[in-house]
Amino acid sequence: MLKVKNLSVHYGMIQAIKDISFEVNEGEIVTLIGANGAGKSTILRTISGLVRPSAGEIEYLGQPIHHMPTRKIVEQGIAQVPEGRHVFKELTVQENLDLGSFTRKDKQNIAADLEHVFERFPILSERKNQDAATLSGGEQQMLAMGRALMTKPKLLLLDEPSMGLAPIFIKEIFRIIQDIQKQGTTILLIEQNAKVALQIANRGYVLETGNIVLTGTGEELLASDEVQKAYLGG
């Protein structure tokens, strides 16, 4: 579904991503793990068109997208849930979700998809007329995920979905991620909680300072001595 080939990204004179290649197959959960500053978020922002690569290519469903504007990338079926959630706090829950469907052309299906989001996140249905600012961190994360799902994505990019959440919400968020995959959405996941991410991932890539240094199935990386020492406290 997604092929990243020899991708490099610079911020001015600083090279954040160094000639990396990886792929995501349809139906998978693939996770990128690594320390802060390894370049994980930059990769997602580049796939989304928010950052332009200095070299390399990104193909989605066989089509190059690395020169497309972000809106066109969303219309192709890619949605991102950004780190820190970034919901529109002055808007209601309902209005945030409505914005998720802004680029869709199949307007006749939006109401049914909104009901599916409310079924998946019942708390959002209960609070649909409240301002997003009144939600807890975990509820805002659910809103950000619901907003992304309203774009009807084929590929969902998740950037640190558990950041700052209480353990009870973390467990729920990862259950929902697995449920979204089972419903047919492919997921590329960035997550500081490497253990939980690898437990649900089909495959993973380990990044260090802009380079991919290790790859394998979720089980293989969980069992890796290098990963244990660096990311799992082993």
**Strand 2-11 vs strand 14-24: parallel, antiparallel, or unpaired?**
antiparallel
Q: What is the pLDDT of residue 233?
A: 66
Cα–Cα distance for residue pair 174/130, rounded to 1 Å? 25
Q: Is residue 188 part of a domain?
A: yes
Q: Which residue has the tokens 């928010």?
A: 50
Is 86's pLDDT higher than 80? yes
Q: Is residue 132 part of a domain?
A: no
DSSP states along 140-191: HHHHHHHHHHTT--SEEEEE-TTTT--HHHHHHHHHHHHHHHHTT-EEEEE-
Q: Is residue 139 part of a domain?
A: no
Q: Is residue 225 part of a domain?
A: yes
pLDDT in tens, 95-116: 999 999 988 888 889 999 999 9
Instruction: pLDDT band for 81, please (50, 70, 90 cuts).
Output: very high
The stretch 181-196 carries a mean pLDDT of 94
The 10 Å Cβ neighbour count of residue 93 is 29
Is 234's pLDDT higher than 70? no
Q: Is residue 134 part of a domain?
A: no
The stretch 132-153 carries a mean pLDDT of 94
Q: Is residue 94 part of a domain?
A: no
Which domain does 173 fall in, by range? Answer: 2-88+152-231
Q: Is residue 46 part of a domain?
A: yes
Q: What is the pLDDT of residue 169?
A: 86
Cα–Cα distance for residue pair 27/201, rounded to 1 Å? 11
Is 198's pLDDT higher than 80? yes
Cα–Cα distance for residue pair 153/143, rounded to 1 Å? 15
**Strand 29-33 vs strand 203-208: parallel, antiparallel, or unpaired?**
parallel
Q: Is residue 182 part of a domain?
A: yes
CATH number at residue 202: 3.40.50.300
Average pLDDT, the chain: 93
Number of domains in the chain: 1
Cα–Cα distance for residue pair 142/131, rounded to 1 Å? 14
> Do the beta carbons of residue 101 and residue 108 sit within 8 Å?
no
pLDDT in tens, 147-179: 999 999 999 999 999 888 888 888 889 999 999
pLDDT in tens, 111-127: 999 999 999 999 999 99
pLDDT in tens, 29-75: 999 998 888 899 999 999 999 999 999 999 999 999 999 999 999 99
